[in-house]
Amino acid sequence: MDARITSIENLIAADPGGRDVFALVVADQLELAARSLHRANRVGIVSGFYIAAAGAGETDGPPGAKVLGDALRRLGVTVDFITDDRNAPLFASLGIDPIIDAADYIDRAAPSHLVAIERVGRSADGRYHNMRGVDVTEFTAPLDELFLRAGPRGITTIGIGDGGNEIGMGKVFADPAADPEHRRASTTVVATDYCVAAGVSNWGAYGLAGALSILARRDLLPSAEEAASDIERIIHDGGGVDGVTHRREPTVDGIELGASLRMLEDIRHQIVASPLYREGPRSRDGQPAPLTIGILGYGETGRAASVLLQRAGHRVRVSDAGQVTVEPGANLLAVESGAHRIEFFDGCDMVVASPGVRPDSPIRDALHRRGIPVMSELEVAYELSDREMIAVTGTVGKRTTVELLQRLFAFAGRRVGIGGNKGEPLSRLLLEAGGPELLALAVSSFQLESVVHFRPSVAVILNVDEEHLDRHRSLAEYVRIKSRVFMNQGHPSEGPSGPPAPRHVDDVLILPIDDERLRSLARKHRGRTLFFSTRQSVSRGAWLDGGRLYVNLTGVTEELGGVDREGTESTVQFPENVLVGALVCRLYGIDAGRIGEAVRELRSGGAIA
């Protein structure tokens, strides 16, 4: 499986509508669907959802169908678009002449594949329902019949949906691991061979086109401007409406247009090499020509990234909404303060955005429309690094965990550099001459939103709570973003100068087994998963029992000894960061007895509460 497609599968499950879409994602369906489509010869794409209350088709579906159809055509595949007469005007506005009467389509066209994008499928009662449970059978042509007939004919079927009532989602609910809370009267029973769940069905189509791009080794996606134009044309020329608001405006499912363009560009970042990786013009001495890079936000991370990039030979421009104080010798190309103007970034090969600059900010939308890659400081620093990394994320305890790791390793005579969120930015750690080869980073959800290649050797998710919901909207979406800390694990990765240096530990994920929301992420991980618990023993991981700490990495349980202060009872729940710290130390080969001794020493000295 390809790490970039895995990452896209995670990206398109972004859930601005609060439908808990991430719980509906069946791992690897996007890649399996793309690999099948890559061998297709003729594909029928079915789409169109009619909104009876508005008397028009909705903006979700046909634009995605066009993106996927265009990608397939560029690969030499014959594509047929299929809809009903009520949704035909939307396709016509996109310059598509769809098939309306599809009763004999399978016999006549003999397609190798059928794809449904945001097309309602029948429920258990044999009728069609919208997401609100309203019966829409009167307004729905039974195009799902094509998918019910496809199996016996040897036709591969793919469904893309964002809620549960769309063709294909029957496969999700047939999975024993599917969350039964998502089942409702409107849930379809129509399954497909592969099913792609996305926060918006158009995004699922973008993701499938992006996955095909990776397999074909060429960018098959439209530009942001082209995608925006398609949605605007459906409104103005096709009479389309937003499926949630029922208004004729260029939004999809109540979500502003900029969100779809950001998604498109985030997918493109997975398929197009980073500017820092890309082969380009060379100077006379054979070195890559320097890039012009914009820094969006000149706080701690922006300053550190600026210095690191200049040390790597690149030119830097700085923009900050506040006042900018430039350090002596900073040697910046240009400085903008008091605002962010898109014109300031003209000529930039890429932009590094501070975590404090929201993804939905106007300046980032403008950068996406111009096709200028936007990356985080964490991602940029990772791409310029040859260090091995441990990444710790969670709502609380990130910082204390990496600090404890540093102390535990030091007790064993080994150095670990620490930084990340509310600490030294990764860029600054990399500037330290002769710094430690192993780094432990506290990583926030804001930093993880836009990672592309970031792949720590060990990823830890401590916990989740209802924080930052003003930005992430729901706890389920917060969990999805946290999961990006391990999305690239289990796959080979390369940096600007080739494969990374050998690692001491490779692709380990550590999760709390007592939290079902996080425990279930193990199903989406490709590497090795370990657990920790203060309540129960675990088959692989670390746990506390009767005031004694245990670790099991390979099937053999090792006791690290008593961990309480001498003469006290184990009455307080043991800190999760100590369990994680002991587990990570053992992964890196530190002797079990030495770890236990270090924990007791630090605990008796008050360094551990």
What pLDDT band is residue 291 in, cutting at 50, 70 and 90? Answer: very high
Query: What fold does the segment set 292-380 form as a domain?
Result: Rossmann fold (3.40.50)
% the chain with pLDDT above 90: 60
Token pair for residue 113?
A: 């594949």
Query: What is the predicted pLDDT for the residue at 567?
Result: 40
- The sign of the CA dihedral 364, 368, 371, 375 is positive
DSSP secondary structure of 64-119: HHHHHHHHHHHTT-EEEEE--TTTHHHHHHTT---B---TTHHHHH--SEEEEES-
Decide which of 293 and 599 is more confident: 293
Q: Any alpha helices (H) in 336-451, and if so which ranges?
A: 362-369, 377-383, 398-411, 426-431, 445-448
Compute the distance between CA of residue 365 and CA of residue 447 in angstroms, rounded to an integer.
Answer: 18
Instruction: Name the β-bridge partners of 531.
Output: 511, 541
> Which residue do the tokens 């294909």 mark?
168
pLDDT of 122 > 90? The answer is yes
- Which tens digits make up the pLDDT trace of 149-170? 998 999 999 999 998 899 999 9
Inter-residue contact 201 to 161 (CB < 8 Å): yes
What pLDDT band is residue 201 in, cutting at 50, 70 and 90? Answer: very high
- Which tens digits make up the pLDDT trace of 528-561? 999 999 889 999 999 988 878 899 998 899 998 7
Query: What is the predicted pLDDT for the residue at 147?
Result: 97
Beta-carbon contacts of 556 under 8 Å, excluding residues fewer than 6 positions away, are none
Compute the distance between CA of residue 347 and CA of residue 341 in angstroms, rounded to an integer.
Answer: 13
Q: Phi and psi of 79, rounded to 5°?
A: -125, 135
Q: Which residue ranges make up each domain of the chain?
A: 3-271, 292-380, 386-604
pLDDT of 587 > 80? The answer is yes
Radius of gyration of the chain (CA): 26
Beta-carbon contacts of 111 under 8 Å, excluding residues fewer than 6 positions away, are 42, 43, 44, 80, 105, 155
Nearest to 234 by CA among 53, 64, 16, 17: 64
In 3-state terms, what secondary structure has residue 583?
A: helix
Q: Phi and psi of 99, rounded to 5°?
A: -80, 125
What pLDDT band is residue 505 in, cutting at 50, 70 and 90? Answer: confident
Which strand ranges, in their side-by-side order, compose the sheet holding 194-197?
78-82, 42-47, 113-117, 156-161, 194-197
Decide which of 497 and 217 is more confident: 217
- Which tens digits make up the pLDDT trace of 13-57? 988 877 778 888 888 899 999 999 999 999 999 999 999 999 999
Which strand ranges, in their side-by-side order, compose the sheet holding 292-296?
334-337, 315-320, 292-296, 350-353, 374-376
Give the number of other CB atoms < 10 A from CB of residue 15. Answer: 25
Q: What does the buried/exposed string (b/e) look like for 165-196 if buried means 16 or more CB atoms within 10 Å of the residue's CB?
A: bbbbbbbbbeeeebeeebeeebbbbbbbbbbb
What pLDDT band is residue 575 in, cutting at 50, 70 and 90? Answer: confident
Instruction: Name the β-bridge partners of 550.
Output: 543, 559
Could you tell me which CATH number the domain at 386-604 has? 3.40.1190.10
- Tell me the one-letter amino acid at 581: G
Across 76-80, 109-113, 473-477, least confident range: 473-477
Beta-carbon contacts of 239 under 8 Å, excluding residues fewer than 6 positions away, are 56, 57, 89, 90, 248
Across 179-193, 417-431, 488-502, 514-528, least confident range: 488-502
Q: Any alpha helices (H) in 449-515, and if so which ranges?
A: 469-472, 475-483
Decide which of 395 and 273 is more confident: 395
Decide which of 269 and 349 is more confident: 349
- Which tens digits make up the pLDDT trace of 368-391? 888 888 888 999 999 999 899 999
pTM: 0.83
Query: What is the predicted pLDDT for the residue at 308?
Result: 94
Q: Any alpha helices (H) in 193-223, and if so which ranges?
A: 201-216
**CA 92 to chain centroid:** 33
What pLDDT band is residue 565 in, cutting at 50, 70 and 90? Answer: very low
Compute the distance between CA of residue 7 and CA of residue 453 in angstroms, rounded to an integer.
Answer: 9
Query: What is the predicted pLDDT for the residue at 175?
Result: 55
Inter-residue contact 462 to 401 (CB < 8 Å): yes
Could you tell me which CATH number the domain at 3-271 has? 3.90.1640.20
Query: What is the predicted pLDDT for the residue at 494?
Result: 52
pLDDT of 203 > 70? The answer is yes
Compute the distance between CA of residue 501 and CA of residue 486 in angstroms, rounded to an integer.
Answer: 19
For 182, how many CA atoms within 13 A lie in the half-sphere containing its CB?
24
Q: Are strands 548-552 and 557-562 parallel, antiparallel or unpaired?
A: antiparallel
